[in-house]
């Protein structure tokens, strides 16, 4: 059994004052950390699926390190469309991992290590594209090859990245926020991992998400900063500030993936 906490989209500013549509992202992230630390168990690890910062700024990552390093378990980070890989590498403490791309590359693509590495093959991938092209994602072939060739098919596999791979049934999101080659990657992933594929875990939507597509389980967690609308015919995502603070507790058992969603009230 592995116990994992999934968080995302903290959107921290260069100092503690940043409000996003009236919600202070630092105060809400600090409340998130406090709640995770108060859980009656110690997670094996915590994964943050990107948008650590609201804008790529060294001060934002210094603040992220200050706030998120209070978490009691190793933390792994994926790159969001608001993030900068080199700033993340410089400022953030990652749990033990094995990089699957050149360390100098502008990509965070790695196998999660530490105490779990003998049990499972869990990967963090980087779908970042330049802001002028985004906010969709794209998985480069070097990453796809590296991950797929690493999968043995003998251990449970999970993928963590910022951008959802498959349509979620909301017009603007499906046109603008997905991994452009997500469906093709899912097919290849399924071929490599088979029944060992235990799920794909994402952020970016500022919405909780659980869906089953093509035989693959997908789970997303919302943002502590603000939520988006996601109506079927929405032409754009509107902001819904002031929502509860979300995190997912994901349990990987011998034969199942269980997601328990937390929505914490907040005074901040
Ligand atoms: Fe975000």
Question: 265: exposed, middle or buried (C-beta count within 10 Å: 0-12, 13-18, 19+)?
Answer: exposed
pLDDT for residue 267: 57
Q: What is the pLDDT of residue 23?
A: 87
Give tens-digit pLDDT for 4-17: 999 999 999 999 99
Give the integer Cα–Cα distance in Å for 24 and 21. 8
Lowest mean pLDDT among 46-50, 65-69, 260-264: 260-264
19 C-alpha to ligand 1 centroid (Å): 14
Q: Separation of 172 CA from ligand 1 center, angstroms?
A: 15
**Structure tokens, 27:** 């105060």
Give the whole-number percent of the chain exceeding pLDDT 90: 86
Domain 2-264, second-level architecture: 4-Layer Sandwich (3.60)
pLDDT band at 268 (very low <50, low <70, confident <90, very high): very low
> Which residues, other chains included, contact 195 with Cβ-Cβ below 8 Å and sequence gap of 6+?
none
| Spacing, Cα 139 to ligand 1 middle (Å) | 18
Token pair recorded at residue 119: 């049990």
Beta-carbon contacts of residue 69 (< 8 Å; ≥ 6 apart): 75, 93
Mean pLDDT computed over 204-225: 96
Contacts of 103 (CB under 8 A, 6+ apart): none
């Amino acid at each position: 059994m592995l116990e994992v906490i999934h968080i995302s989209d903290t959107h921290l500013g260069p100092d503690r004052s940043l409000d996003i549509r009236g919600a202070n992202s630092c105060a809400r992230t600090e409340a998130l950390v406090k709640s995770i630390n108060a859980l009656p168990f110690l997670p094996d690890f915590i994964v943050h699926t990107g948008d650590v910062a609201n804008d790529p700024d060294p001060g934002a990552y210094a603040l992220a390190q200050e706030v998120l390093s209070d978490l009691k378990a190793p933390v792994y980070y994926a790159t969001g469309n608001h993030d900068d890989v080199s700033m993340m590498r410089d400022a953030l403490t990652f749990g033990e991992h094995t990089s699957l791309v050149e360390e100098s590359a502008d990509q965070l693509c790695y196998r999660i290590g530490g105490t779990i590495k003998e049990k499972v093959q869990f990967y963090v991938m980087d779908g970042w594209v330049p802001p002028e092209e985004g906010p969709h994602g794209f998985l480069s072939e070097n990453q796809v090859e590296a991950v797929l060739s690493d999968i043995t098919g003998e251990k449970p596999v999970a993928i963590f990245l910022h951008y959802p791979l498959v349509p979620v049934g909301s017009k603007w999101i499906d046109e603008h926020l997905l991994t452009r080659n997500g469906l093709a990657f899912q097919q290849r992933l399924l071929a490599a991992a088979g029944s060992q594929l235990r799920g794909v875990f994402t952020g970016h939507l500022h919405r909780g998400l659980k869906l089953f597509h093509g035989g693959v389980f997908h789970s997303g967690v919302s943002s502590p900063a603000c939520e988006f609308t996601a109506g079927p015919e929405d032409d754009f995502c509107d902001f819904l500030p002031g929502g509860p603070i979300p995190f997912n507790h994901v349990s990987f058992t011998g034969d199942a993936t269980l997601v328990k969603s937390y929505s914490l009230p907040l005074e901040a």
